[in-house]
Amino acid sequence: MTIEFVNPPRRILMGPGPSEIHPRVLAAMAAPTVGHLDPYFLQIMDEVQSMLRQVFRTRNEMTLAVSGTGSAGMEACVVNLIERGDRMVVGVNGVFGGRMTDTAERAGAEVTRIERPFGEVFSVDDVAEAVDRVQPKVVGLVHAETSTGALQPLEEISRVVHDAGALLLVDCVTSLGGLPVEIDKWQVDAAYSGTQKCLSCPPGLAPVTFSANAVEAMDARTSKVQSWYLDMSMVRQYWGENRAYHHTAPINMNYGLHEALRLALDEGLETRFARHQRNHGALKAGLAALGIRYSVAEGMQLPMLNSVLIPDGVNDGEVRSTLLNRFGIEIGGGLGPMKGKTWRIGLMGEASREPNVLLFLAALEACLAAQGGAVVPGAGVAAANAAYAADK
C-alpha cells in the first residue's frame, strides 16, 4: 500500500463552515514553529488578544483564543461560569442551543430550556418570563444559529438579564467577523466563537471573552472547574502577564489566526460587514428568481449563512452531490428537523465574494434544470447582477 502526499481537491467552500482561507493565512501557518514560551510567540499572543478585542468590540482583559474548536470555546464558557446546582436558562431554537444545554447539564447546572421552532428567534418577553421565574445565574443564547440561519437580537434581552442579576453568555461562532458583535455595548458577559467561519482561518482555535462581572463570578467559585484543560483560572495565567505554563498552545494555528485578524482589521469591520450584506442581498435576489425562498423571516436572516427551503420535488442529496462533484462547490444540508428540507449556503469571510455568488447561482440552476425544474435560463444570475448594480 502506497500512502501518497496529502493532495485534497480544490473546493469552493459555501457551506456552514469551514470557509475559504486567504493564502496569507495559509502562508502564516507554514512559518517556522517556535516554542510556546518563546518571546516571539508571546508577542504574537499579545497581538492576537489586542486584535480579538477589536473584533469583539470589547475592552475585556480576559480575551483570548482557547486551544480547540468553537465547541471548546462553548464548553470553556459554560464550565467556568457554572458550578453544580447553579440555575441556567438556555434558549434552544436550533442545534447549537441544544448543545449548550447538554454542556451545562454535564457541568451540573439545573437547566431550564426556553424553546422556539427552528428558524425563529426569542422575544424579550420570552426571556423575561423565564428569567423572572427561574432567577438563573446564567442565561445562554445563540447570536447566529448555524443550523437555521437565524439572527437573535440581543441588546434589549441583555438589559432584562442584567436587571435580574444574571450573566449573559452568547454563542458568536458564526457571527464574529461577519456582522456586528458588540460585547461591551450589549453588556455580554461571556462569548465564544470559532476561527473557521467569518474569520476564514482553519478550525482549531476558539476566541473567547469574559467581562469583569464574569471574571468576578469565576473567582468566587467554591469548587474547581469541571475541566482541567479549559479552566480559565489557569489558562489566563498563560495568556496574562505571568506566562505560567499550562499547555502547549498550537503555535502555527495562532500564526494563522493572527493573520486572519490582521486581514479583517485591514479591510475594516464596517466594510467587511457591508460586503457580507451586499453578497447576501445579491444571492437572495438570485434565489428568488429561481423560485427559492428563505426558511427564516425577513429581518432575522443571517447574511453569512443563508438557510433556504428546498423546492418540492427536488432531491436534496443529488443537488448537493452535483454541486460538489461537477462544480466543486460545497453547501450544507439541513440539521435536526430541517434535514432534507433546507440548504445552508455560506457566504463567510473569504467565501463572501461576488464571483462565488454568481457561479453558485449558475450551478444551482443547472442542477434544478437537470431534475426537471421550471427555471428560466440565466434568471438567477441576471437577478443577482441587477442587485449588485443597484447596490453600487
State the DSSP string of 15-76: SSSS----HHHHHHHTSPP--TT-HHHHHHHHHHHHHHHHHHT---SEEEEEES-HHHHHHH
Q: What is the mean pLDDT of residues 309-329?
A: 96
pLDDT of residue 194: 98
210 pLDDT above the threshold of 80: yes
DSSP for 132-178 reads: HHH--SEEEEESEETTTTEE---HHHHHHHHHTT-EEEEE-TTTTTT
Per-residue pLDDT, 74 = 98
The residue-averaged pLDDT of 355-372 equals 95
258-287: pLDDT as tens digits: 999 999 999 999 999 999 999 999 999 999
Is the pLDDT reported for residue 245 higher than 80?
Answer: yes
Cell of 390: 443597484
From start to end of 320-372, where are the E strands? 329-330, 332-333, 342-346
pLDDT digits (tens, 9 = 90+) for 181-196: 999 999 999 999 999 9
**Confidence at residue 375, expressed as pLDDT on a 0 to 100 scale:** 85
Closest by Cα among 86, 101, 96, 171 to 136: 86
- When pLDDT is averaged across residues 196-219 and rounded to a whole number, the result is 98
Per-residue pLDDT for 373 more than 80? Answer: no
Structural domains of the chain, ranges and CATH numbers in brackets: 23-266 (3.40.640.10), 268-390 (3.90.1150.10)
Nearest Cα to 176, choosing from 208, 209, 198, 153?
A: 198
Summary mean pLDDT of the chain: 97
Q: Is the peptide bond before 136 cis (omega within 30 degrees of 0)?
A: no
Instruction: Give the number of other CB atoms < 10 A from CB of residue 300.
Output: 17
Evaluate whether 349 touches 198 at the Cβ level (below 8 Å): yes
Q: Regarding predicted confidence, which is higher, 372 or 60?
A: 60
Give the pLDDT mean for 337-349.
97
Please give the pLDDT value at position 392.
Answer: 76
Displacement of CA 288 from its chain's centroid (Å)? 26
Cα Rg, the chain, nearest whole Å:
21
- The answer to whether the CB of 177 falls within 8 A of the CB of 350 is no
What pTM does this model have?
A: 0.96
Mean pLDDT of 368-390: 92
37 neighbors 245 (Cβ within 8 angstroms): yes
pLDDT in tens, 77-123: 999 999 999 999 999 999 999 999 999 999 999 999 999 999 999 99
- What DSSP character marks residue 189? S
- pLDDT per residue over 279-302, tens digit each? 999 999 999 999 999 999 999 999
